[in-house]
Amino acid sequence: MDERTAMVTIGGVEYEMLLTTRATKQIAGRYGGLENLGEKLMKAENFEMALDEIVWLITLLCNQPILVHNLKHPEDKKPELTADEVELLTSPMELTDYKDAIIEAMYRGTKRNVESEPEGKNTAAG
């Protein structure tokens, strides 16, 4: 597992979820930016719409590692996960659990590794 991914199990198969630049662009196009995502999901007008959005996100994030693999290994392409497969192989209760994995994948994908320098290194000479 990559440090930028989160794991989910769908239909007995483990999938990595990865936030890539491409996925970020698609999310921004749909929600107006990552910062609006949580608000949009919470304000979904009805349960069906909320489920559709979660299924879309799961499918999008699970397909990113598959697309990366297919780009790097064109001779060994893996099939992408479809929204229909996610809907058929999950229950609504599981989808609420996947919200945590979505949040984790997004956090890991946007996390910055900041290292502070030892004090005194950049101080002005007196």
* E strand map for 11-122: 13-18
In a domain, 124, yes or no: no
> pLDDT at residue 42 above 80?
no
Rg (CA), the chain: 18
In a domain, 41, yes or no: yes
Global pTM value = 0.79
What confidence score (pLDDT) does residue 96 get? Answer: 72
Q: Looking at per-residue confidence, does 39 or 95 come out higher?
A: 95
In a domain, 126, yes or no: no
In a domain, 115, yes or no: no
Contacts of 83 (CB under 8 A, 6+ apart): 55, 56, 59
> pLDDT at residue 14 above 90?
yes
CA distance to 10, 98, 110, 111, 116, per residue, from 54 (Å): 13, 8, 19, 22, 37
Q: Which domain holds residue 18?
A: 5-110
Instruction: Indicate the number of domains in the chain.
Output: 1
In a domain, 74, yes or no: yes
